[in-house]
Structure 1
Amino acid sequence: MVHVRKMSEADVEAVSAIRVRGWQTAYAGILPGSYLEAMTVESDADQRRQWFSLPHRQSVDLVAVDAGVPVGWINYGPFRSGESGEPGVRTGEINALYVRPDLTGRGIGRALLGEAHARLRGQEYRAAVLWVLDGNRGARRFYERAGYRADGPTQTEVYDGLAVAELRYRHGW
């Protein structure tokens, strides 16, 4: 049985492993193999430790834990930039959500997303947005089942010279 709690600095290595393996699994065939192969848990953990120690971060990290071990991670916070959709609606953003690849489909992602939503609602946010790679059909289905819908805006990120489209999804409550 997993439970969700706030991430601690002691979770950095486990979260980096979840994130790197998640990218390498979910984005295979979408992002260049050269980009995915160059990712390492060590470099991600170094970056995450630096980021985690920033004193005035506005985003929050949560982990899903099973038997004392992190098996999933979510980062959320205020909407970071641009027009969030409905004027006057305080909007949060899901910045990242990853589950250990061998444990997908077991409700861990739903538990993390549900807890992030509950915390955002508790802070008087009335909607959340997130960005998902256009070609990531599994993630798109997951977010659609959770009540998210593509709401129009797109952006492009470049990975090792390949431009990849991202769609913005929105969920209101």
Structure 2
Amino acid sequence: MSKWVDRMVGEGYGERMSGIRVATVQDANAIARVHVESWRTTYAGIVPEAYLASLEVEQREGSWREWLGLDVDVFVAEVDGEVVGFVGGGAIREPVEGFDGELFAIYLLREAQRRGIGMALLKRLAGSLKKRRLGSMVAWVLEDNSSGGFYSRSGGVRVASKEMEVGGVMLPVVAYGWNDLRTIGAGVARGSA
């Protein structure tokens, strides 16, 4: 029942095809694996190592099974049938003035990054949120996360900041905002996300 929403040749994957599709409960384990692996590579040196080491795919899988049953939009990116990334979002959870949608999470395995897959996921989520009659979106990101450039290249601008507890420590987070979902990724060269 996998319906391809977008197809592209994944740069760096040779001629192997990748696609983006709606996530199902059957994807919970694959999403959990990407979630844990990407946290360990993306947040090393930012989030306490003990916290990263404590992350377990099985625990995240249970959380994702629940999450996929909620009224949220979740999409996975596949290369040769393997889930290499995901994105999730919906109505904003914590008010940020002028925004009605929220990017809850976007993660890719390290080898899937900088090949256009992240931008394709972001655009797919934006299209889905527009169908929900949402017109704008924010994403809360750890300030020291090196992916801040991805959000900027896709048209996001810093609109708010706060602190968030992760692994027993308070860390600064910033909100990137897109005032108009239709502009996400406009003018971005392929291979930059």
TM-score (norm: length of structure 2): 0.80
- Report which stretch shifted further, 116-125 or 59-68: 116-125
Q: 1:43 aligns with which of 59, 63, 69?
A: 59
Root-mean-square deviation (CA), in Å?
A: 1.3
Paired AA for residue 101 in structure 2: G
Q: Give the whole-Å Cα distance in 1 for the aligned partners of 2:164 and 2:155.
A: 25
Unmatched tracts of structure 2, length 5 or more: 1-16, 181-193
Q: 8 Å contact 1:64–1:112 — kept in the other structure?
A: yes
For residue 107 of structure 2, give the secondary structure of its aligned residue in structure 1.
strand
Percent identity (aligned) = 29
For residue 19 of structure 1, give the secondary structure of its aligned residue in structure 2.
helix
Aligned residues: 164
Shift of 1:38: 0.4
Partner of 1:68: 81
Q: Give the whole-Å Cα distance in 2 for the aligned partners of 1:50 and 1:117.
A: 23
Shift of 1:60: 1.2
Q: 1:140 aligns with which of 148, 151, 165?
A: 148
Could you report, residue by residue, the CA deviation over 1:100-148 in whole angstroms, capped at 9, with x for unpaired residues?
Answer: 12211111111100101111223322211110001012x1100000000
Q: Give the whole-Å Cα distance in 1 for the aligned partners of 2:31 and 2:157.
A: 27
Task: Say which structure, 1 or 2, has more relative contact order (CA 8 Å, 6+ apart).
Answer: 1
Shift of 1:58: 2.4
Tell whether 2:125 aligns with 1:116. yes
Q: Give the whole-Å Cα distance in 2 for the aligned partners of 1:63 and 1:51.
A: 14
Shift of 1:149: 0.4
Paired AA for residue 105 in structure 1: R
Q: Give the whole-Å Cα distance in 1 for the aligned partners of 2:148 and 2:167.
A: 23
Q: Give the whole-Å Cα distance in 1 for the aligned partners of 2:131 and 2:59.
A: 34
Unmatched tracts of structure 1, length 5 or more: none
Structure 1 runs (4+) greater than 3 angstroms displaced: none
